[in-house]
Amino acid sequence: MDFLQKTTLSPTLKEYKRTFYAVVFTLLLFNVHKSSCFNLDTSDATRVTRTGAAGSLFGFSVDFHQEGNSAWLLAGAPKSQTAQPGVTEGGAVFRCDVATSISLTPNPCAPITFDTLGDDRDVDLQGNILQKTQKSGQWFGATVKSASPAKDVVIACAPRYVYYTDTFTEREPVGNCFLAAANFTQIRNYSPCKKDSQGGFGRLGYCQAGISLDFANDAEQLLLGAVGSYFWQGQLFSKTVTYDNGVPNLGGDEKKTPEGDAWKDDFHMGYSTGSGEFTGDNVAEYVVGVPRGPGSPNHLKGHVAIYDSNLAVLQAMPEKTALIGEQMGSYFGYSLVVQDVNGDGLDDIIVGAPMYSSPREHLWDLGRVYVYHLEQPGLSPVFSDPTVLSGKVSSGRFGTSIAALGDVNQDGFNDIAVGAPYQTGEGDNNMGAVYIYHGSAEGIRAEPAQEIKASDFPEPLSAFGFSVAGAKDVDNNRYPDVAIGAYEADSVVVLKSRPVVNADVIVQVEPEFIDTENKTCTLDDGTAVVCFDINICASYTGINVPDEVDLKYEVTLDALKTVGQRVFFGGRETSQTWSSTLRKADPDSMCITQQAFLRNDIRDKLSPISVAVAYAMADPVTPQPDQLLPVLNLNQPSRRTRQVNILKDCGADNICVPDLKVFVSMQGTEMVVGSDKQLLMDVVVENAGEGAYEALLSVMLPEGVDFVGTGNPRGGAIITCNLQEEDQRLLVCDLGNPFTARRTQLGLRLSTVQLTGDSNSLDFEFSVNSTNAEEPGNEADNHITFPVPVKVNASLSVRGVSLPEQVVFMKMERESEDITDERDIGPEVTHRYEIRNVGPSDISSSKLKIQWPVHTRTGEDLLYLLAVNVTQGNGRCTVNGDVNPKGISTESASAAQTAEALYALDSSRAARHRRAAATSDKEVAQMDCINAECIVIDCMLERLNKDNIAVVQIRSRLWVDTLLEGGFKETTLTSVADFEVLEFPYAITADVLPTARAEIVTTANPSKPSVGKRPVPLWIIILSACAGLLLLVLIVLVLFKCGFFKRQTMQEYTAIKRNPPTSESPDASSGYISDKTDY
């Protein structure tokens, strides 16, 4: 029988597991949108790929440019060959058509004519014509930026442009920029460092202006980063741009950050630039990355500086919110953008650190991105702690590029893209990836909504994601699009955004409770069964979504049933899939009803029947070229689940009406702050009515209380309790489904070690409920508030020790009668008090009051006070009198040890003297605060946490002359300490402030104690003699009675001598020796 059970149960369990995991996998596969395919369309139907000449680094920089209703891709190719005479690989910026995936023009990309001239030349003082500039290898197009739609202006820069000074001897890479307007017909040149008078790498000669750039204030302000200025401290230029009929005029003011102190050399300010409003004055501030700052104590961690419109740095932000990198060498500030990502109307700052590494995991150049949310504008703006986004692949350099995308999914929050251009996958020949992160009311979502890899595309791409641009709609569908550069493949990929459908699907089951005896439906074979209806109604919204969308549904019945589903559709299947076309103009198209049937042979009538409805967009079989298909919102659920409960024991009306009650008690009467003792609560839940479905016990835990576990319940099944993810203070316990008419009990084990002592009561909120309602008016006993008193208290331990416990005093041998050195006073006496807080509560302040016997009643010195110190713990002591009032010189530690050793040698002799004098009638002199004059020492102790110790030490010298002159013999010297708690560090007031007392006794003995001699009384002598004589008489009588004085042995010896025994005699071997034996 056992063998049969084992062989049949084992496959059943395996079948259950296979069924469970298969259903879950199917639901996940059907419902969950992969992050690699949200609303940026990567399909060949809409993707646009543009390429440049091999080796031109086409795509090193990218942006979109709009002219009226037309949109173009701008792609920088800093090593492109141009038609400029005498210039090799000067670089170019290309304008590319992105309207369709298949370009309508023969050449979809054409270079923009910014500069047609070759190198400038000039005449030196000797009349020689020499080269004045070097445009070969200048990397024009390394950066490019469009001011559209604010202005029809594009700027591109060559940060490696070289200028020769007026002496023609200094070759200086100052950088050079061009602005183009009016459909690229009006060109203006701007090179702020191109000056003969400020050359040299110590000034502006190596500034490399244009390595980063941005427009501010609707393109009326131009920002340029120059990393090489002032010994590579770096610099930010702000140029005012005016416009004449749309043509930029660069005659406005120019501001620049000044040279800093020498310790700022090699900071590389200007690697990234941006602008935003952070002070609340509606005037833009400028943001600049400094990837090798900010100096001590954060060397090379990198930081981001914020300047006002006059390029004056804002007041220092609090250290908590300072925009400083977390790791040396991570190049924090290499990239940055400014954009509001949480919809609060305040600009946020997003900063890249592409070389962040994880040495513990041996992962290098992972890269990180930090999102700082502006919380409080002002001259010292306050930012939140950063939300950190981390790279996943070593050497990927996540954060090399960051782009503000605008609201790419039109959910009301702006989004960002982060490039990891050197990320590679296993067996992946392509390199690079771009991650799309969505904004939300809480800020940037921690997980990417979409991961776009170079390997997703058929063409070979490398360094994919080195440059990213967005925030412009190039196909006029009201969704921003994205351009991604892959300069090592001389390519740029443009991805267009799909319209997002916000579907609202409602699933209802009628009836929610079914009666297994109410068989109102008939199958095709005539079998009567129980049935219920599944109603699915859907609606949708979205920006620029079509008037009709096709939704695909899959309904799975009883998906989580362990063995064998209990319900089915008309064709006996347990799952169905169908599509439905939703039309906004036809509300009737929004709902579908399907009927499900209950098997007649079910055994499990307690667990609910689940109905899971998954839905997705039904894509057309063959998408048309350039067709952007709508997509479901990734941030909304794509599955709905409802339950059907089976009624049981619910009376004649088939309606279960429970009557739930909850009772609470606790073990103990109160909790003490700081105690590690668990709080044990007994909870009893009773159902005095009919079955309660989905019955739950909810416990709202107060702050400072943590759930540990449950005890074994009595009178029911095992009850599981879990904290809710959305509220870690809410504990929910599943009582069963249904929770039938019975009483069950469980114990809750709770920890209170996190109590802060802010309240004198812990209020626990207990409630019990179910999905089927109780009779009106019966709900009062479903809830209870259980208060637990909270106290503060601390047990104290005060102990004292005398060092040494006993001392010997003798006449001191001094060179003079005056006492000038402490050793002339007498032996050292130190009393040490140890105060321990046994707990459980901490103590914030306390006082130790010590009474010290300093004088005799007649005013002579006794224990001469030399020092009072708190040697362990924090505190200070004050003496109600003087310490060392006579100004006697105190000795060094070595001398004190030598002197005390001499006193210690005499202590053993003193001990022997005390034993000799033990029978004397000498009295011990007690010197305490009753028989002597005491001074008060007050020691105020600071915080004393549980199990911590404070030690107070009083050092003194015994004034020997006082004892000798006063004729003192053995003397005890006693100090008394009273300890009291003044305050606990809690808002709760203690019922009683704890106190404790201790005393220390030191015994002082003279070096030669006298032993008293007294004559013995005569009567004692006479009585002792008589007693001795009487004892002697008694002993003699006893011996006489015992025959002690009779000698019989001699007679026996004489008889044997006369008649010696023969050999035959039995006594021959007796062992007696004959007197004739020869010796």
Strands of 109-111's sheet in order across: 61-67, 70-77, 92-97, 109-111
**Structure tokens belonging to residue 213:** 């750039």
**Structural contact between residues 698 and 769, judged by C-beta atoms closer than 8 angstroms:** yes
Give the length of the chain. Answer: 1079
Give the type of residue at 905: L
Of the chain, the percentage scoring pLDDT greater than 70 comes to 84
pLDDT tens across 580-603, in order?
Answer: 777 766 766 788 888 999 988 876
C-alpha closest to that of 974 among 810, 826, 809, 805: 805
Q: How many Å apart are CA 140 and CA 362, to the nearest integer?
A: 38
User: What is the number of other CB atoms lying within 10 angstroms of the CB of residue 782?
Assistant: 18
What is the pLDDT at residue 654? 60
Instruction: Please write the tens of the pLDDT for every residue from 862-889.
Output: 999 999 999 999 999 999 988 999 888 8
The residue among 690 and 92 whose pLDDT is bigger is: 92
pLDDT at 427: 58
820-868 confidence digits (pLDDT tens): 888 888 999 999 999 999 989 999 999 999 999 999 999 999 999 999 9
pLDDT at 40: 94
Could you give all domains of the chain from N- to C-terminal order, each with its CATH number?
48-497 (2.130.10.130), 500-646 (2.60.40.1460), 660-791 (2.60.40.1510), 795-812+820-888+902-910+923-1006 (2.60.40.1530)
Dump pLDDT digits (tens) for 597-616.
Answer: 998 887 666 678 889 999 88
Q: First and final CA of the chain: distance in angstroms?
A: 101
Residue 199: what pLDDT? 64
Q: What is the pTM for the complete model shown?
A: 0.62
What is the number of H-type helices and E-type strands within the chain? 6, 69
Residue type, 674: G
pLDDT at residue 576, as a whole number: 67
Average the pLDDT over 648-654 and give the result. Answer: 68
Nearest to 222 by CA among 208, 237, 207: 237
Min mean pLDDT across 290-304, 340-354, 465-479, 712-726 is at 712-726
The verdict on whether omega for the bond into residue 480 sits within 30 degrees of 0, i.e. cis, is no
CA separation for the pair 817, 826 (Å, rounded): 14
For residue 205, name the pLDDT band (cuts at 50, 70, 90).
confident
CB 172 within 8 A of CB 161: no
Please give the mean pLDDT across all residues of the chain: 85
Cα–Cα separations (whole angstroms), residue 752 to 676, 692, 701: 7, 33, 11
Local structure of 1058: helix, strand or coil:
helix
Q: Which of 540-554, 657-671, 898-912 has the highest mean pLDDT?
A: 657-671
Q: What does the alpha-carbon distance between residue 932 and residue 928 come to, in Å, rounded to a whole number?
A: 6
Cα distance between residue 145 and residue 663, in whole Å: 70
Confidence of residue 896 (pLDDT cuts 50, 70, 90): very low
> Tokens 């929770």, residue?
739
Lowest-confidence region among 4-13, 282-291, 310-319, 1062-1071: 4-13
Q: Is the pLDDT of residue 1066 over 60?
A: no
Q: Regarding beta strands 845-856 and 971-983, do their DSSP bridges make them parallel or antiparallel, or are they unpaired?
A: antiparallel
Q: Which H helix or E strand runs over 968?
A: none
Could you give the CA distance from residue 356 to residue 418 in angstroms, rounded to a whole number? 15
Please report which helix (H) or strand (E) contains residue 7, including its range: helix 2-31
pLDDT in tens, 137-196: 999 999 999 999 999 999 999 999 999 887 777 889 999 999 999 999 999 999 999 876
Report the C-alpha gap between 111 and 735 in whole angstroms.
73
DSSP character at residue 459: S
